[in-house]
Structure 1
Protein backbone atom coordinates (compact mmCIF):
# COMPACT_ATOMS: atom_id res chain seq x y z
CA UNK A 1 0.00 0.00 0.00
CA UNK A 2 2.78 2.48 0.82
CA UNK A 3 5.08 1.33 -2.00
CA UNK A 4 2.78 2.06 -4.92
CA UNK A 5 2.84 5.91 -4.57
CA UNK A 6 6.65 5.83 -4.40
CA UNK A 7 6.92 3.80 -7.63
CA UNK A 8 4.51 6.17 -9.32
CA UNK A 9 6.67 9.19 -8.45
CA UNK A 10 9.93 7.59 -9.66
CA UNK A 11 8.48 6.53 -12.99
CA UNK A 12 7.51 10.11 -13.93
CA UNK A 13 11.15 11.35 -14.39
CA UNK A 14 12.48 12.36 -17.80
CA UNK A 15 15.84 11.64 -19.50
CA UNK A 16 16.75 15.35 -19.56
CA UNK A 17 16.81 15.41 -15.75
CA UNK A 18 19.49 12.70 -15.70
CA UNK A 19 21.77 14.58 -18.12
CA UNK A 20 21.32 17.82 -16.18
CA UNK A 21 22.57 16.00 -13.08
CA UNK A 22 25.91 15.29 -14.78
CA UNK A 23 26.59 18.92 -15.73
CA UNK A 24 28.01 19.90 -12.30
CA UNK A 25 30.31 16.86 -12.33
CA UNK A 26 31.55 17.76 -15.82
CA UNK A 27 32.16 21.35 -14.70
CA UNK A 28 34.14 20.15 -11.67
CA UNK A 29 36.39 18.03 -13.91
CA UNK A 30 36.90 20.95 -16.31
CA UNK A 31 37.86 23.28 -13.46
CA UNK A 32 40.22 20.66 -12.00
CA UNK A 33 41.89 20.26 -15.39
CA UNK A 34 42.52 23.98 -15.89
CA UNK A 35 43.53 24.74 -12.29
CA UNK A 36 45.59 21.65 -11.38
CA UNK A 37 46.44 19.22 -14.19
CA UNK A 38 47.37 21.64 -16.98
CA UNK A 39 49.75 23.82 -14.90
CA UNK A 40 51.45 20.68 -13.55
CA UNK A 41 52.00 19.37 -17.08
CA UNK A 42 53.47 22.73 -18.10
CA UNK A 43 55.83 22.70 -15.11
CA UNK A 44 56.97 19.16 -15.93
CA UNK A 45 57.64 20.15 -19.55
CA UNK A 46 59.75 23.14 -18.43
CA UNK A 47 61.73 20.96 -16.00
CA UNK A 48 62.42 18.38 -18.73
CA UNK A 49 63.66 21.11 -21.08
CA UNK A 50 65.89 22.56 -18.34
CA UNK A 51 67.42 19.16 -17.57
CA UNK A 52 68.03 18.40 -21.25
CA UNK A 53 69.83 21.74 -21.67
CA UNK A 54 72.41 21.06 -18.95
CA UNK A 55 76.01 21.76 -19.97
CA UNK A 56 79.43 21.56 -18.42
CA UNK A 57 80.01 24.56 -16.16
CA UNK A 58 76.38 25.09 -15.11
CA UNK A 59 75.85 25.66 -11.40
CA UNK A 60 72.92 23.52 -10.22
CA UNK A 61 70.88 22.74 -7.11
CA UNK A 62 69.74 19.16 -6.44
CA UNK A 63 66.59 18.02 -4.64
CA UNK A 64 68.67 17.41 -1.54
CA UNK A 65 69.84 21.03 -1.53
CA UNK A 66 73.38 20.31 -2.71
CA UNK A 67 74.86 23.09 -4.83
CA UNK A 68 77.53 22.17 -7.32
CA UNK A 69 79.00 22.72 -10.76
CA UNK A 70 78.43 20.29 -13.63
CA UNK A 71 81.80 18.88 -14.70
CA UNK A 72 80.67 16.18 -17.08
CA UNK A 73 77.42 15.23 -18.80
CA UNK A 74 77.66 11.44 -18.91
CA UNK A 75 74.48 10.34 -20.72
CA UNK A 76 70.74 11.00 -20.84
CA UNK A 77 70.17 10.11 -17.20
CA UNK A 78 73.36 11.07 -15.35
CA UNK A 79 75.70 14.02 -14.78
CA UNK A 80 78.86 14.48 -12.75
CA UNK A 81 78.78 17.42 -10.34
CA UNK A 82 81.66 18.92 -8.39
CA UNK A 83 80.34 19.87 -4.93
CA UNK A 84 83.71 20.90 -3.44
CA UNK A 85 87.24 21.21 -4.82
CA UNK A 86 88.26 17.75 -6.09
CA UNK A 87 84.99 16.17 -4.82
CA UNK A 88 82.82 14.93 -7.67
CA UNK A 89 79.57 12.99 -7.41
CA UNK A 90 77.35 11.35 -10.00
CA UNK A 91 73.78 12.64 -9.93
CA UNK A 92 70.65 11.50 -11.75
CA UNK A 93 69.56 14.34 -14.07
CA UNK A 94 65.94 14.34 -12.93
CA UNK A 95 67.00 15.21 -9.35
CA UNK A 96 68.31 18.60 -10.46
CA UNK A 97 65.80 21.21 -9.37
CA UNK A 98 67.30 24.49 -10.50
CA UNK A 99 70.09 25.82 -12.68
CA UNK A 100 71.54 28.84 -10.87
CA UNK A 101 74.19 30.01 -13.38
CA UNK A 102 74.10 29.03 -17.03
CA UNK A 103 77.31 28.94 -19.03
CA UNK A 104 77.41 30.42 -22.50
CA UNK A 105 77.69 28.05 -25.46
CA UNK A 106 81.19 27.71 -26.93
CA UNK A 107 80.15 29.35 -30.21
CA UNK A 108 78.90 32.50 -28.45
CA UNK A 109 82.14 32.89 -26.47
CA UNK A 110 84.35 32.74 -29.58
CA UNK A 111 82.47 35.53 -31.40
Structure 2
Protein backbone atom coordinates (compact mmCIF):
# COMPACT_ATOMS: atom_id res chain seq x y z
CA UNK A 1 0.00 0.00 0.00
CA UNK A 2 1.36 3.42 -0.96
CA UNK A 3 1.48 5.99 1.82
CA UNK A 4 2.48 9.64 1.90
CA UNK A 5 2.45 12.53 4.32
CA UNK A 6 1.03 15.91 3.40
CA UNK A 7 2.16 18.69 5.73
CA UNK A 8 0.38 22.05 5.60
CA UNK A 9 -1.11 24.61 7.97
CA UNK A 10 0.68 23.01 10.94
CA UNK A 11 -1.02 19.66 10.29
CA UNK A 12 0.48 16.33 9.27
CA UNK A 13 -1.91 14.23 7.17
CA UNK A 14 -1.18 10.54 6.55
CA UNK A 15 -2.72 9.41 3.26
CA UNK A 16 -3.00 5.99 1.59
CA UNK A 17 -3.69 5.32 -2.06
CA UNK A 18 -6.86 3.32 -2.82
CA UNK A 19 -7.91 2.68 -6.42
CA UNK A 20 -5.87 5.62 -7.74
CA UNK A 21 -7.11 8.17 -5.20
CA UNK A 22 -5.42 9.38 -1.99
CA UNK A 23 -7.55 8.94 1.15
CA UNK A 24 -6.81 10.56 4.51
CA UNK A 25 -5.97 8.05 7.26
CA UNK A 26 -4.82 10.20 10.16
CA UNK A 27 -4.33 13.89 10.98
CA UNK A 28 -2.12 15.23 13.77
CA UNK A 29 0.31 18.07 14.55
CA UNK A 30 3.20 18.57 12.12
CA UNK A 31 5.80 19.34 14.80
CA UNK A 32 9.08 20.36 13.14
CA UNK A 33 8.15 19.00 9.70
CA UNK A 34 8.25 21.59 6.96
CA UNK A 35 5.23 22.00 4.64
CA UNK A 36 5.25 19.68 1.64
CA UNK A 37 4.45 16.21 0.35
CA UNK A 38 6.54 13.36 1.77
CA UNK A 39 6.32 10.25 -0.43
CA UNK A 40 7.32 7.73 2.23
CA UNK A 41 6.30 4.82 -0.02
CA UNK A 42 9.57 5.49 -1.90
CA UNK A 43 11.68 4.80 1.22
CA UNK A 44 14.66 2.48 0.92
CA UNK A 45 15.54 -0.10 3.57
CA UNK A 46 18.22 1.15 6.00
CA UNK A 47 21.73 -0.31 5.77
CA UNK A 48 22.69 -1.28 9.34
CA UNK A 49 26.36 -0.51 8.69
CA UNK A 50 25.63 3.21 8.21
CA UNK A 51 24.54 6.13 10.39
CA UNK A 52 21.54 8.19 9.33
CA UNK A 53 21.08 11.83 10.36
CA UNK A 54 17.71 13.36 9.57
CA UNK A 55 14.12 13.93 10.58
CA UNK A 56 11.93 10.99 11.64
CA UNK A 57 8.76 11.83 9.72
CA UNK A 58 6.52 8.84 10.44
CA UNK A 59 6.29 5.79 12.68
CA UNK A 60 3.86 2.93 12.06
CA UNK A 61 3.45 -0.59 13.45
CA UNK A 62 6.26 -2.03 11.32
CA UNK A 63 8.63 0.79 10.31
CA UNK A 64 10.25 4.08 11.26
CA UNK A 65 10.60 6.48 8.31
CA UNK A 66 13.41 9.02 8.29
CA UNK A 67 14.12 11.77 5.76
CA UNK A 68 17.77 12.07 4.73
CA UNK A 69 18.19 15.12 2.48
CA UNK A 70 15.56 14.54 -0.26
CA UNK A 71 15.35 10.74 0.18
CA UNK A 72 13.61 8.51 2.74
CA UNK A 73 15.00 5.59 4.71
CA UNK A 74 12.87 2.89 6.36
CA UNK A 75 14.09 1.26 9.61
CA UNK A 76 12.46 -1.87 11.10
CA UNK A 77 10.55 -0.79 14.20
CA UNK A 78 11.45 -4.04 16.00
CA UNK A 79 15.10 -2.86 16.01
CA UNK A 80 14.20 0.04 18.33
CA UNK A 81 13.63 0.25 22.05
CA UNK A 82 10.00 1.43 22.04
CA UNK A 83 10.75 4.12 24.65
CA UNK A 84 13.21 6.01 22.41
CA UNK A 85 11.17 6.28 19.20
CA UNK A 86 9.99 9.81 18.65
CA UNK A 87 9.52 12.05 15.63
CA UNK A 88 12.00 14.84 15.15
CA UNK A 89 15.61 15.27 14.11
CA UNK A 90 17.58 12.18 15.10
CA UNK A 91 20.79 10.32 14.44
CA UNK A 92 20.18 6.57 14.01
CA UNK A 93 22.93 3.97 13.92
CA UNK A 94 23.07 0.27 14.78
CA UNK A 95 25.09 -1.73 17.33
CA UNK A 96 26.75 -5.12 16.70
CA UNK A 97 23.50 -6.95 17.58
CA UNK A 98 21.57 -4.96 14.94
CA UNK A 99 19.64 -2.86 17.48
CA UNK A 100 19.06 0.79 16.68
CA UNK A 101 20.83 3.48 18.69
CA UNK A 102 18.95 6.79 18.60
CA UNK A 103 20.37 10.13 19.65
CA UNK A 104 19.63 13.77 19.00
CA UNK A 105 21.33 14.86 15.80
CA UNK A 106 24.46 16.94 16.33
CA UNK A 107 24.01 20.62 15.60
CA UNK A 108 25.49 21.47 12.21
CA UNK A 109 27.58 24.61 12.14
CA UNK A 110 27.53 26.84 9.12
CA UNK A 111 29.41 29.92 8.15
CA UNK A 112 27.14 32.87 8.09
CA UNK A 113 27.46 36.60 7.91
CA UNK A 114 27.26 38.35 11.24
CA UNK A 115 26.63 42.02 11.80
TM-score above 0.5 = no
**Structure 1 length as normaliser, TM-score?**
0.28
From the CA coordinates, give the structure whose radius of gyration is larger.
1
Structure with more helix by fraction: 1
Structure with more strand by fraction: 2
